Chain A
Amino acid sequence: MGRLIEEIYVWRLPVRLYHWINALCTVVLLVTGLYIAAPLFSPPLGEAVFYKGMSWWRYLHFATAFIFVANFLFRLYWALFGGDKYGRFGGFRPWSPSWWGKPFLEQVESYLFLRTDEPNYVGHNPVAALAHFLFIFCGSSFMIFSGLAMYGENNPGGFNSVWFGWMIPLFGSSYTLHWAHHLMAWIFPIYLIMHLYAVFRHDVVDRTSVTSSIVTGYKHKVEEEPV
Chain B
Amino acid sequence: MQSKQTFADLFRAGGVSRRDFLKFCSLTSVYLGLSPSMVPSIVEAMEKKVRTPVIWLHGLECTCCSESFIRSSHPTIEDLIFNMISLDYDDVLSATAGHQLEDVRRKTMKDYKGKYILAVEGNVSTKDDGVYCMVGGDSFLNTIKETAADAAAIIAWGACASFGCVQNADPNPSGAVPISDIIKDKPIVKVPGCPPISEVMTGVVTHFHTFGTLPELDRFGRPKAFYNTRIHDKCYRRAFFEAGMFVRSFDDEGTRKGWCLYKMGCKGPTTYNSCSKIQWNGGTSFPIGSGHPCIGCSEPNFWDKGPFYTRLAEVPFLGSDSNADKIGVIAVGAAAAGAAAHAAVTAVKKAKAGSEDNDKA
Contacts and interface: CB of A to CB of B under 8 A. Distances in A.
B19 to A, nearest CB: 48
Contacts of B343: 197, 201
Interface string A160-185: 00000110110011111011001101
Give the interface residue-count category, chain A.
35 or more
Residue among B219, B262, B324, B350 having the largest count of chain A Cβ atoms under 10 Å: B324
Nearest to B340: A197
Question: For chain A, what secondary structure do more than half of its interface residues adopt (helix, strand, loop), or is it mixed?
Answer: helix
Given A51-B243, A173-B299, 18 more contacts: A37-B312, A38-B311, A45-B257, A54-B241, A55-B243, A113-B349, A116-B353, A154-B233, A169-B220, A174-B230, A175-B313, A179-B324, A182-B324, A186-B324, A186-B328, A189-B332, A190-B332, A193-B336
Interface of B: 219-220, 224, 228-230, 233, 239-246, 248, 253, 257, 262-263, 267, 269-272, 296, 299-302, 305, 311-313, 315, 324-325, 327-329, 331-332, 335-336, 339, 342-343, 345-346, 349-350, 353, 357, 360-361
A54 B243 contact: yes
B275 to A, nearest CB: 15
B345 A113 contact: yes
Contact of A201 (B242, B257, B262, B342): B342
A94 interface: no
B219 A43 contact: no
B332 A186 contact: yes
A197 B337 CA distance: 11
A8 B94 CA distance: 86
B219 A169 contact: yes
Nearest to A190: B335
Residue among B246, B269, B270 having the largest count of chain A Cβ atoms under 10 Å: B270
Given A37-B311, A42-B244, A190 B342 contact: no
Interface string A89-114: 00000000000000000000001010
